[in-house]
Amino acid sequence: MKIYVGEDYKEMSRKAANIMSAQIILKPDSVIGLATGSTPIGIYDQLVKWYEKGDLDFSNVVSINLDEYKGLSGDNDQSYRYFMNKHLFDRINIDKNKTYVPDGLEQDSYKACQQYNNIIEKSGGIDMQLLGLGHNGHIGFNEPGEAFEKETHCVNLTKSTIEANKRFFEREEDVPKQAYTMGIKSIMQAKKILIVVSGKGKADIVKKAFFGPVTPEVPASVLQLHNDVTLVGDRDALCEIL
Ligand code: F6R
């Protein structure tokens, strides 16, 4: 595993954006796996800046996101499709028809997940997968205890996640109870993994995930078995391992 440290969030974002840019410049039709969450926002801002300067061209890039809430449409501002449009896709020259996020409106979970597995397979596989890291070691919506061998599947959100999401919705029945996520197996099939972490709050889990035992109890620990992982973090998040 390669580890790069940035002094702060901004520098971490810039380093990770550099690695993604290199991938796109060297292979303009790259298939890039993308993540939502707070950590990648600075990376997306940086990529947009370089695009605006004329240094990056996304016209041949294919993107495949990790996950989406079941039941939310892309124009719901809590959906991950909405997040991606807002932070990246609407700001660059990517062909929206080549940006994939699981179909939150497909009620048939089996169909939604099979469709997504087909999209990944037909794309030729993910060249570089960007990941964030949950405080409990989750990647995508793969929570502790998930089997390592799963591809895209439907997960039941934990009570605490549903509780935490309540404030974003007018009516309690609108809060998503399930999500579609790439599984650990799908993630592990990416040719390269780029995982980004920021803040003191991630320091313990970074140590557990990358220097502790490989166990489904810490889903990200499986990345120790992947042969091309790059970890980029700010000093706070990496303080336990530097
Ligand atoms: C996002 C995702 C999640 C986040 C993780 C970290 O698509 O699948 O696994 O990457 O929860 O989130 P942040 O970056 O907000 O700490």
Q: What pLDDT was estimated at residue 21?
A: 98
CATH, residue 13: 3.40.50.1360
Residue 39 CB less than 6 A away from ligand 1: yes
pLDDT at residue 159 in the model: 87
pLDDT at 164: 81
Number of domains in the chain: 1
Question: What is the per-residue pLDDT across 4-30, written as a single tens digit (0 to 9) for each?
Answer: 999 999 999 999 999 999 999 999 999
Read off the pLDDT of each residue in 79-90 and give the average, rounded to a whole number. 98
Domain that holds residue 50: 2-238
Residues 6+ apart with CB under 8 A from 161: none
Active site residues: 67, 136, 138, 143
Residue tagged 């990376």 (tokens): 43
Q: Is 134 in the pocket of ligand 1 (CB under 6 A)?
A: yes
* Residue 167 to residue 162: CA distance in whole angstroms: 10
Q: How confident is the model at residue 165 (pLDDT cuts 50, 70, 90)?
A: confident
Per-residue pLDDT band for 225 (boundaries 50, 70, 90) equals very high
The β-bridge partners of 175 are none
Report if pTM > 0.95: yes
- Atom of ligand 1 minimally distant from the CA of 34: 7
Ligand 1: nearest atom to the Cα of 202: 16
Band (pLDDT 50/70/90 cuts) for residue 158 is: confident
For 169-208, the pLDDT digits (tens) are 988 888 999 999 999 999 999 999 999 999 999 999 999 9
Residue range 52-83, pLDDT digits in tens: 999 999 999 999 999 999 999 999 999 999 99
The pLDDT value given to residue 173: 86
What is the per-residue pLDDT for 172? 83
Query: Which of 19-33, 91-105, 141-155, 204-218 bottoms out in mean pLDDT, i.e. has the lowest?
Result: 141-155
Give dist(CA 111, CA 119) in Å, integer. Answer: 12
**Per-residue 3-state assignment (H helix, E strand, C coil) for the chain:** CEEEEECCHHHHHHHHHHHHHHHHHHCCCCEEEECCCCCCHHHHHHHHHHHHHCCCCCCCCEEEECEEECCCCCCCCCCHHHHHHHHCHHHCCCCHHHEECCCCCCCCHHHHHHHHHHHHHHCCCCCEEEECCCCCCCECCECCCCCCCCCCEEEECCHHHHHHHHHHCCCHHHCCCEEEECCHHHHHCCCEEEEEECCHHHHHHHHHHHHCCCCCCCHHHHHHHCCCEEEEEEHHHHCCCC
Q: What is the ipTM of this complex?
A: 0.99
Residue nearest to atom 9 of ligand 1 (CA): 140
Q: Examine the pLDDT at 160 and tell me if it is beyond 90.
A: no
